[in-house]
Amino acid sequence: MLNREQLGFWGRLAKRIPAVTVVIIPHGPQKVFKRSLAPGTVRRILASILLSSAVSITFAVNYLKMGRNMAELRELRQINAEQQAQIAQLASEAQDARTKLQRVIQLESQIRELLQKEGINVGGEIHSSVSSNKSSKATPSSSAGLVRAGLILGFVGQPQKARESLTKLDELREEFRALSEAASSTEQRMLALRGYAEALVAYLHAKPNIWPTRGTLTSRFGYRRPPSRYASSYHEGVDIGAAYGAPVYAAGDGVVRFAGWKGGLGRLIIIDHGYGIQTYYGHASKIYVRVGQAVKKGQVIAAVGTSGIATGPHLHYQVVVNGVDVDPLKYLPYGR
């Protein structure tokens, strides 16, 4: 708004504007155009020119500002598109890390269950090594990562802060990648551990560590006084006296390698347990398995008898490791 002094100045200036005569002299025979303009008319024309100039200048300034705003808007849109792409990638990487962690936890559960069935107690949380992996950088939980991602989104709309948010998204992606790599590494170790646990369980199942029949230990391993003139003074196994027809059990998982008559041992079964271990079951009255058959620990394979050279119903039980006879009592639990 103009003050009084300014109004007075422009008023005095307007009063000094004289009348103006406009003369137009054309080329050719047309007559000369001549017109006189009163001071009031001149003032109005000048006012219109000034107003038009002011409007034009204002429009030009606003247009330049709008151009800068449009450039900024395009930059924001580009940054926002990059953010959306990175957020989508982060979501994918977070899901990948979450899936790997779930597999790690599942593997841990399988290993724990596998070993606990064999009476082996596994303490602590195996998969905790993911969060304490020293080879990675920070390994935040997925919830912390999502919170940080939410804070980053608040910068959208301000170019400088939006550009800073892209840097923060890069850092967050690196953290998710480190977490994913740690989960992958732990998963590989867990797979190897599960393989070891399965091998250990297979060995424990194959190990001949249960009594092959219920009865009384009548003859031990090693040198002895022969029970008859047909028996050897060196005893390759142990004799377990039992009722005629009592069940004979496989002492461990394995495959039947022999099932038939063999000299003084009468009806004999030989089971190969792997790991270089074989067990012999002699003097049976009946055989319930055949050669090549896979048997499980505790499965009934024969019946106690007196076949071969025997002074009474009993089971001759023998353990051979890598071709050498060993005392079966080293494998058997105390008591029967």
Domain coordinates in residue numbering, the chain = 16-74, 78-206, 216-330
> Quick one: pLDDT at residue 291?
97
Q: Residue 161: what residue type?
A: K
Assess if CATH 2.70.70.10 describes domain 216-330. Answer: yes
> Quick one: pLDDT at residue 178?
76
What confidence tens digit (pLDDT) does each residue in 97-156 have? 777 777 777 877 878 787 777 777 665 544 444 344 433 333 444 444 444 444 444 444
Query: CA 304 to CA 313: how far, in whole Å?
Result: 6
Give Cβ neighbours of residue 62 (< 8 Å, ≥ 6 apart).
none
Over range 78-101, report the average pLDDT: 72
Over range 281-297, report the average pLDDT: 97
What confidence tens digit (pLDDT) does each residue in 207-261 have? 999 999 999 998 888 776 665 555 566 778 999 999 999 999 999 999 999 999 9
Higher per-residue pLDDT: 130 or 31: 31
**Does the pLDDT of residue 69 top 70, yes or no?**
no
> Quick one: pLDDT at residue 79?
66
State pTM to two decimals. 0.56
> Quick one: pLDDT at residue 318?
95
**Does the pLDDT of residue 311 top 50, yes or no?**
yes
Mean pLDDT rounded to a whole number for the chain? 76
Give the pLDDT band of residue 74 (cuts 50, 70, 90): confident
